Structure 1
Amino acid sequence: MKHTTVQMIRAHLVTASVAATAIDVCVVSLLFFCKIPQTLFETTTFRVLTFGLLLAAVLITRHAARVAFRAAVKRRHAHFVGPRRDAVCVSTICPARGLVILHLHFTGMPYVPVHATGW
């Protein structure tokens, strides 16, 4: 399997894991603070709702990362490098650097560290 494919899968799995952790925190807080019965969280409806929330979280994160990438390219915080202009280098002063790099991982674009380009 190609390295970029592994990065794409890993980015999606990590995003879903963070969303699942947030959902778990909400469920545990509802159990302890609001005294909601535990059987409510064992239903098929809750499982479908949780799956929908996970999917929505990944899609929203992908969209936010894409918007950050486009803004970084527009503001010249990111630029394409390499002989075919297929890799991207992101400036260290980019305000949304993490989201821009996450977009690169989501899409499978090669990411070149700043120190490798001298930018």
Structure 2
Amino acid sequence: MKQTTVQMIRAHIVTASVAATTIDVFVVSLLFFCKFPETLFETTSFRVLTCVLLVTAVLVTRHAARIAFRAAVKRRHAHFIGPRRDAVCVSAFCPARRLVILHLHFTGMPYVPVHATGW
């Protein structure tokens, strides 16, 4: 399997894991602080809702990362480099640098660290 494919899969799994942890914290807080019954969270409808929330969280994160990438390119915080202009270098001063790099991992675009280019 290619390295970019592994990075794409990893980015989606990590994003889903963070969303699942957030959902889990919310459910545990409902159990302890609001005294919801445990059987409420064992139903099929809750499992479907959780799955929908996970997919939605990944899609919303992808969308936010794409918006951050487009803004970084527009404001010249990110630029394409390489002989085929297929790799991207992101400035250390980019305000949404982490989201821009996450977009690169989501899409499988090669990312070149700043120190490698001297930019």
C-alpha root-mean-square deviation of aligned residues, in Å?
A: 0.2
What residue is the counterpart of 2:78 in the other structure?
78
Question: Secondary structure in 1 aligned to 2:80?
Answer: strand
Q: Separation in 1 of the partners of 2:113 and 2:53? A: 33
Matched, 1:52 2:52: yes
The two structures have a TM-score, normalised by structure 2, of 1.00
Identity of counterpart residues, as a percentage? 86
Which runs of 4 or more aligned residues in structure 1 lie more than 2 Å from their structure 2 counterparts after TM superposition? none
* Aligned residue identity for 2:43: T
Deviation for aligned residue 1:96: 0.1
Unaligned runs of 5+ in 1: none
Question: Secondary structure in 2 aligned to 1:80?
Answer: strand
The two structures have a TM-score, normalised by structure 1, of 1.00
Unaligned runs of 5+ in 2: none
Deviation for aligned residue 1:75: 0.1
Q: Separation in 2 of the partners of 1:107 and 1:76? A: 20
Write the deviation string for residues 9-59 of structure 1: whole angstroms up to 9, x where unpaired: 000000000000000000000000000000000000000000000000000
Question: Secondary structure in 1 aligned to 2:49?
Answer: helix
